[in-house]
């Protein structure tokens, strides 16, 4: 099954594409979290929401619980999108995937992203090491999900839904909590980092540390909200992404 959810693409094959915006979801999320993003960018930007194995319409596929094999799988599955100009966006776990995909493509001497947009994730060298939660007993695990505020109360209290979502969340959190960034030269593409002003687990200093991971331009932009600020802030966030792309050679000019 395709790694990209086709229902989230702008279906206009005759338009001129200047950039492809490849979106990676946060832990427990599917491609559907980006379902309306294609309506908020110029038609010259093709939006591709990635569906990870074991998520969304790929539930019948095995889950990954480590970032390296997942990134290798994604880089291979998304190979057609690396040919032209593309940018990567990922929130939380998706930021890890985006960052590691960019490094993998560089190691393989492939074309790198024109811009890297990382959201809701502290930089590797300022990430606090805390006891893992992905393997907690069920009651404690549910309470941790409540604290994170990313899973609706109605879902947490619905046994059938949780029977489906539980292994996905545990596998994704294991990816995040076992992730270690190996020392390597910084990327040469611009990096923009987004954060929530009320995200109690991530400080601005931890976001600003991403500046050490690129030799190009760097910016941090903050939005009202907690860790999942991207939902309410999507229109403004996408305006910022589009503006960054417009400032690049060959950037998008038209509007929807």
Adjacent-strand bridge partners of 87: 21, 115
Q: In what side-by-side order are the strands of the sheet with 19-24?
A: 45-49, 19-24, 86-91, 115-119, 191-196, 218-223
Determine the angle formed by the axes of helices 138-148 and 159-178, rounding to 10 degrees.
80
Q: Are 41 and 69 in contact (CB under 8 A)?
A: no
CB 243: neighbour CB atoms within 10 A? 11
Which residue's structure tokens are 């991971």? 213
34: nearest Cα among 52, 45, 47: 47
CA distance 213 to 124: 9
Q: In degrees to the nearest 10, what's the CA dihedral of 238, 242, 247, 250?
A: 150
Name the catalytic one among 44, 92, 98, 119.
Answer: 92
163: nearest Cα among 93, 70, 67, 59: 59
Q: Compute the C-alpha angle 7/9/11, nearest 5°.
A: 100
| Residue 196 parent element (H or E) | strand 191-196
Is residue 92 flagged as an active site residue?
yes
The set of catalytic residues is: 92
């Amino acid at each position: 099954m395709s790694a990209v959810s086709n229902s989230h693409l702008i279906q206009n094959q005759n338009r001129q594409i200047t950039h492809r915006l490849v979106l990676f979801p946060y832990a427990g999320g599917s491609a559907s979290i980006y379902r309306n993003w294609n309506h908020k960018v110029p038609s010259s930007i093709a939006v591709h929401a990635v569906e990870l194995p074991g998520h969304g319409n790929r539930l019948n596929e095995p889950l990954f619980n480590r970032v390296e094999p997942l990134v290798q799988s994604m880089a291979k599955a998304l190979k057609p999108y690396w040919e032209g100009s593309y940018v990567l966006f990922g929130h939380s776990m998706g930021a890890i995937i985006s960052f590691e995909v960019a490094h993998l493509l560089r190691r393989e001497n492939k074309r790198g992203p024109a811009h890297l947009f990382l959201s809701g994730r502290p930089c590797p060298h300022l990430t606090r090491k805390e006891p893992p939660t992905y393997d907690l007993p069920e009651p404690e695990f549910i309470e941790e999900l409540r604290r994170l505020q990313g899973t609706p109360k109605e879902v947490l209290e619905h046994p059938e839904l949780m029977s489906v979502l539980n292994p996905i969340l545990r596998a994704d959190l294991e990816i995040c909590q076992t992730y270690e960034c190996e020392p390597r030269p910084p990327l040469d593409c611009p990096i923009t980092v987004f954060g929530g002003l009320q995200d109690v687990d991530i400080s601005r200093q931890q976001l600003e540390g991403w500046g050490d991971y690129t030799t190009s331009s760097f910016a941090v932009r903050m939005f009202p909200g907690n860790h999942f600020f991207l939902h309410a802030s999507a229109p403004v966030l996408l305006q910022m992404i589009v503006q960054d792309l417009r400032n690049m050679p060959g950037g998008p000019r038209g509007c929807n």
